[in-house]
Amino acid sequence: MVLDTLRRFHIEEENASGPMAQVIGRMEAIAADTGCSIVFLHHASKGAAMMGAGDQQQASRGSSVLVDNIRWQSYLSSMTSAEAEEWGVDDDQRRFFVRFGVSKANYGAPFADRWFRRHDGGVLKPAVLERQRKSKGVPRGEA
């Protein structure tokens, strides 16, 4: 089951740990009763987004229970200017690229981040990017 977004499926105060623990508990009960997995979409806090820290485990908006009481967490993060430079993407094109990663995986191996490119209709397709080599030493033509 996918809940898009979490906020649309409860009326609790998101900053209150007790009520949010109950929301997570209700999802766990539904999963146990039905045998399904539950994935919920949730936004990063404004502060984390503004600092470019949307890929951090504690970046989620609201109570830390939303991170502490779950077993798996992933994220989509827009490409920063520094990442665009690192991956050789023109600054005017970086808005089309997002990084997918897993910031918490209690029951699995580490997962390497992957880049995707946004296409028509918001469809994300895998992007093939190459890290740019940083030159060291004397610039060409000056030796």
138 pLDDT above the threshold of 70: no
DSSP 66-112: HHHT-SEEEEEEEPPHHHHHHHT--TTTGGGEEEEEEEEETTS----
- The percent of residues above 90 in pLDDT, for the chain, comes to 64
Q: How far apart are CA 17 and CA 7, in angstroms?
A: 15
Q: Is the pTM of this model over 0.85?
A: no
* Under 8 Å between Cβ of 109 and 72: no
List C-alpha distances in Å: 29 to 20, 36, 41, 118. Answer: 14, 10, 18, 35
Q: Could you report the per-residue pLDDT of 36-87, keeping only the tens digit for each?
A: 999 999 887 677 677 776 676 676 778 889 888 989 989 999 999 999 999 9
132 pLDDT above the threshold of 60: yes
22 pLDDT above the threshold of 90: yes
Higher pLDDT among residues 15 and 143, named by residue: 15
SS3 label, residue 32: helix
Q: What is the per-residue pLDDT for 121?
A: 96
Q: What is the per-residue pLDDT for 57?
A: 65
Higher pLDDT among residues 126 and 109, named by residue: 126
Helix or strand (DSSP H, E) at 115: strand 114-118
* Token couple for 88: 């050789």
Which of 130, 36, 19, 119 has its CA nearest to residue 84? 130
* Under 8 Å between Cβ of 75 and 103: yes
